[in-house]
Amino acid sequence: MKNKKNIEDTSGFDNIVSLTKRRGFIFASSEIYDGLAAVYDLGPYGVELANNIKKEWWRVMTQLRDDIVGLDAAIFMSPKVWEASGHVKGFSDPLTECRKCHSRLRLDTLLEEAGVFADEKMSEEEINEIFSKNKEKVVCPICGATDFTPAKNFNLLVQSNLGNFTGDWQKEPVYLRGETCQGIYVNFKNVVDTTRVKIPFGIAQIGKAFRNEITARQFIFRTREFEQMEMQYFVKPGDDKKYFDFWREARFQFYLDLGIKSENLRWHEHENLVFYAQAAFDIEYNYPFGFKELEGIHARGDYDLSVHAQASKHDLSFFDSQTQERFLPHVVETSAGVGRTMLAVICDAYKEEEINGEKRIVLSLAPKLAPIKIAIFPLLKNKPELVNKAREIFNSLKLDWRCEFDDNGNIGKRYRRQDEIGTPFCLTVDFDSLDNDDVTIRFRDSMEQKRIPLRELKNFFQNNI
Ligand code: GAP
C-alpha cells in the first residue's frame, strides 16, 4: 500500500455537503430559480443510494419475514383521516418570532441550543413556562437579539386545494400526508380481509410525507418533503412490551448491518410523549451537528385503530379464530426517514486521507449501499481493442450489478472520482488483459490492486457485494 494516513478532524459538515453536490448525490430543489427552502432533489448517485437503502429496508422488513406484508397507500387521503388521527388539532411545533428581525423559529430548538431542556412534544404552556425562566439565554441565530414572542403552536400539516374548485379551499383543505402510517391504519381491515395475516403481523410502507417545518436547517436532516419507511406491527393487547423490545433491538441492528459504526448510534428515550404514543425511543445518529433522531420506535397502543373505528363507524377489531377472541389490536411502530438514513450513511462513510502528500476523499459505503458497485475502465481511450474489451465486460456485469463505464481522463483521476462516489471496485482493462483474459481489480478502501481472471469475476462479485 502507498503512504496513506487519515487526516483527523477534517470531515466537517461543509465538506460532506459539498461532496454530495459536487458528485451528484443531492441538489437543492429548483436551484436555477434560487431553490425552494427545505426541499431537495436526489441526483444520479443520490437516487441509487436512496433506492439501495429502501431495497434493504424492504428486504429485511418484508422478504425475510413471513409476518409482514407491504402496502402503498396514496399520499392524499380523506381529510377525515387527519381529523380523527388528531393531527389537525395536535400535530404542531412551538413557533416564536424574533421581535427584532422577525424570523420565525422553533422555541424548543432555540432552548435546546441554549442548553435548556425542552422538546417539541411539550405543551404550549409547558414550553412557555420554561422559556419565561430562561429568556436571557435564548438568542436569535439570525440577528443575535434576545427578544422573542411567547410560543404559539403551529400546525405542521401541509394543505392543498385538491378537488376544490370554489376558491375557498382553505375552509376544507385536503392534506398532504404528515406521516405514512395513517394509510396503514385505514387499510388495516382491507389487509386482514384479503390476505392470510394473523396477529401478530405487520404492514410495511415506504413513501413521501410532508410537514410545514418551521425551521429547516441542517441540510436534508429536516426537510418539508421527505420519505419515510414505516412498519406498523399489530399485536394482542398485553403483548406490547414484548414486541416493542423485539423491534427496538431489530431496528438498531439494521443500522449496524448497513455498516454504521456502533459508537455513532445511541438510544434516546422520550419523557414527553407525542399525543399518540405510550412509549417512544429514538435511535440517534451522531451527525456532524450532534446526536439526532434517525428513527423512532413507538408503542401506540390501540390509539389509532380506536380513533379511526370511532370516527369512521367501521369495526376495526380482529377476530382470532384459534382462541375465538375478538379484540382491537395494539400497535408497535418503527418509523425511519430515508433522507436521514442517507445522511447518516454518508457522514459515517466519509473519510479524508493523505496519500503521498495529496488529499483523497473516500466514501467507504457498504458495497450493498454503494450507488455504483463496479466501475470499468479501458486504460486508454484511443485504443479500440481496450475500449471494446472493457465494453464487453461492462455489458456482461451490468446484467447483475449497477456498473459504470468510464474512459475519460487518466486512471488516477478516474479512481478518485469513483472513491468519492463510494464505488467499492474498479476494473481496468490494459494490454495484458487482451492476452491473458484478465483485468486489474482495485479496491476502494485499501487501494490494493491485483489481477483477476475474467472467468472469476462474477463469482467474486457475487461473494463480495
Ligand atoms: N409515524 C410516526 C412518525 O412519523 P416521527 O418521529 O415524526 O414519527 C419518524 O418521524 C421519522 O421520520 C424520523 O425519525 C425521521 O427519520 C423522519 N422525519 C420526520 N420528520 C422529518 C423531516 N422534516 N425531514 C426528514 N425526515 C423526517
User: Burial code of 291-304, b = ≥16 C-beta within 10 A, e = fewer?
Assistant: ebbbbbbbbbbbbb
The pick from 93, 226, 275, 284 for probing ligand 1's pocket by mutation, whose C-beta has the most ligand atoms within 8 angstroms, reads 226
Is residue 153 within 8 A of residue 124, CB to CB? The reply is: yes
Query: Which backbone phi and psi does 437 adopt, to 5 degrees?
Result: 55, 50
CA distance 386 to 371: 25
Q: Kindly report the CA angle at 180 between 92 and 30, in degrees rounded to 5?
A: 80
Q: H or E segment at 416?
A: helix 411-421
**113-115-121-123 Cα dihedral, nearest 10 degrees:** -110
The pick from 53, 179, 186, 206 for probing ligand 1's pocket by mutation, whose C-beta has the most ligand atoms within 8 angstroms, reads 179
Q: How many Å lie between the centroid of ligand 1 and the Cα of residue 231?
A: 13
**177-184-58-332 Cα dihedral, nearest 10 degrees:** 110
The pick from 267, 270, 293, 303 for probing ligand 1's pocket by mutation, whose C-beta has the most ligand atoms within 8 angstroms, reads 293
Length of the chain: 465
Q: How many Å lie between the centroid of ligand 1 and the Cα of residue 337?
A: 6
- The neighbour count for residue 425, using CB atoms within 10 Å, is 25
Q: Whose CA is nearest to atom 18 of ligand 1?
A: 337
Give the number of the atom of ligand 1 that is nearest the alpha carbon of residue 180. 1
pLDDT digits (tens, 9 = 90+) for 280-292: 999 999 999 999 9
Domains and CATH numbers, the chain: 4-73+181-348 (3.30.930.10), 92-155 (3.30.40.230), 372-464 (3.40.50.800)
Pocket of ligand 1 (CB under 6 A): 179, 181, 211, 213, 222-223, 226, 228, 230, 293-296, 333, 335-337, 339-340
Give the number of the atom of ligand 1 that is nearest the alpha carbon of residue 230. 1
Q: How many Å lie between the centroid of ligand 1 and the Cα of residue 295?
A: 7
User: What Rg value do the Cα atoms of the chain yield, rounded?
Assistant: 26
Q: H or E segment at 435?
A: helix 431-436
Task: Report the percentage of the chain scoring pLDDT > 90.
Answer: 89
pLDDT at 10: 41
- The neighbour count for residue 34, using CB atoms within 10 Å, is 8
Q: Kindly report the pTM of this predicted structure.
A: 0.94
- Of 353, 243, 408, 342, give the one whose Cα is nearest residue 5: 353
CA 308 to chain centre: 28
Q: Whose CA is nearest to atom 17 of ligand 1?
A: 337
Q: Whose CA is nearest to atom 15 of ligand 1?
A: 337
Query: Which backbone phi and psi does 459 adopt, to 5 degrees?
Result: -60, -45
Give the number of the atom of ligand 1 that is nearest the alpha carbon of residue 337. 16
CA distance 190 to 234: 14
Q: Whose CA is nearest to atom 24 of ligand 1?
A: 222
Q: How many Å lie between the centroid of ligand 1 and the Cα of residue 147?
A: 30
For the chain, list residues with pLDDT below 50: 1-2, 6-11
Q: How many Å lie between the centroid of ligand 1 and the Cα of residue 259?
A: 22
DSSP-assigned beta bridge partners for residue 330: 235
Q: Whose CA is nearest to atom 19 of ligand 1?
A: 337
pLDDT at 9: 44
Listed as own residue / partner, the contacts of 94-97 with beta carbons closer than 8 Å and 24 or more positions apart are 94/120, 94/122, 94/124, 94/127, 94/128, 94/151, 94/152, 94/153, 94/154, 95/151, 95/152, 95/153, 95/154, 95/214, 96/131, 96/148, 96/149, 96/150, 96/151, 96/152, 97/148, 97/149
pLDDT at 4: 56
pLDDT digits (tens, 9 = 90+) for 64-111: 999 999 999 999 999 999 999 999 998 999 999 999 999 999 999 899
Is residue 259 within 8 A of residue 265, CB to CB? The reply is: no
Q: Kindly report the CA angle at 297 between 293 and 301, in degrees rounded to 5?
A: 140
The pick from 29, 260, 300, 340 for probing ligand 1's pocket by mutation, whose C-beta has the most ligand atoms within 8 angstroms, reads 340
- Of 66, 42, 40, give the one whose Cα is nearest residue 54: 42
Task: Please report, for residues 82, 135, 403, 457, the alpha-carbon distance to residue 464 in angstroms, rounded to integers and kept in the order given.
Answer: 46, 56, 15, 10
pLDDT at 2: 45
SS (H, E, C) 234-255: EECCCCHHHHHHHHHHHHHHHH
The pick from 335, 343, 345 for probing ligand 1's pocket by mutation, whose C-beta has the most ligand atoms within 8 angstroms, reads 335
Give the number of the atom of ligand 1 that is nearest the alpha carbon of residue 224. 23
pLDDT at 122: 81
Q: Whose CA is nearest to atom 7 of ligand 1?
A: 179
